[in-house]
Amino acid sequence: MNDLDVLRVFCAGDGRYGNLLGVVRDGRTCPDDASRQALAAELGNRQRVFVHAPERGVVDIRTPGTRMSFAGHPLVGVAWLLDIEELQPPAGSVWARDDGEFTWITARPEWVEGKRTRQYDSVAEVEALPAPPPGEGWLYAWAWEDEAAGRVRARGFPRRPDGVIAEDEATGSAAILLTAELDRALNITQGAGSQILTAPGADGTIEVGGRVRFAPPANPANPANPAHPA
């Protein structure tokens, strides 16, 4: 598909890591629900965004099995790609801005569904967790790396029944939830080395931001899966 862009969202400072995202700039190429779900399944297990109207920021966020009303890293990625100030996912209006290095969106923590956070005593405990840890339900495991500086070490575990994704590399919605619970700005290192920045707003919103880069060229053996830049 020639209008598909593959991005990495929430990259580290050297451009590595980040969560994969596929963006179909012209949603008219997949006009119905069945074709979008089929394409989402074909392109793998990460999230995909179909852009309805670039000038108005109307977007449709999909996984292979579901349509999502809100998700963090897809909206940060689309905001960077389209260079747009407002996005319109099903959850509501999302404001976006770019400061040169980081792309930011502003969202409401009540839009985050089905996730919970759990604090651990140390970074070593978080890093020692198996993927996924025992239990049910989406878990954001975290510990203070430097509490005074707001630095957090985190890992995200979908713990889905199908077990397809054992660990999520960078999760904007979970970072929003944690920021709302702690009510302070955070600098989060998640997964293998992705970086997520957050800040609470006076009106109960949360701003979440990160670096976005185009993914490396696709693996010739499987064009849907770019090589990991680690």
pLDDT at 15 over 90: yes
Q: What is the pLDDT of residues 180-207, one digit of tens each?
A: 999 999 999 999 999 999 999 989 999 9
Are 118 and 182 found together in one domain?
yes
Please report whether residue 149 resides in a domain.
yes
Are 147 and 89 found together in one domain?
no
Cis peptide before 90 (omega within 30 of 0): no
Please report whether residue 226 resides in a domain.
no
Look at 26 and 215; give whichever has higher pLDDT.
215
Please report whether residue 228 resides in a domain.
no
**pLDDT number for residue 1:** 47
Look at 66 and 64; give whichever has higher pLDDT.
66
Are 30 and 76 found together in one domain?
yes
Are 189 and 115 found together in one domain?
yes
Among 3-12, 61-70, 116-125, the range scoring the smallest mean pLDDT is: 61-70
Domain end point (choices 95, 124, 149)? 95
Q: Mean pLDDT, to the nearest integer, of 22-44?
A: 72
Structural domain containing residue 131: 111-210
Total domain count, the chain: 2
**pLDDT number for residue 223:** 41
User: What is the reported pTM?
Assistant: 0.90
**Tell me, what CATH number does 17's domain have?**
3.10.310.10
pLDDT at 219 over 60: no
**pLDDT number for residue 67:** 85
**Selection from 221, 184, 205 nearest residue 72 by Cα:** 205
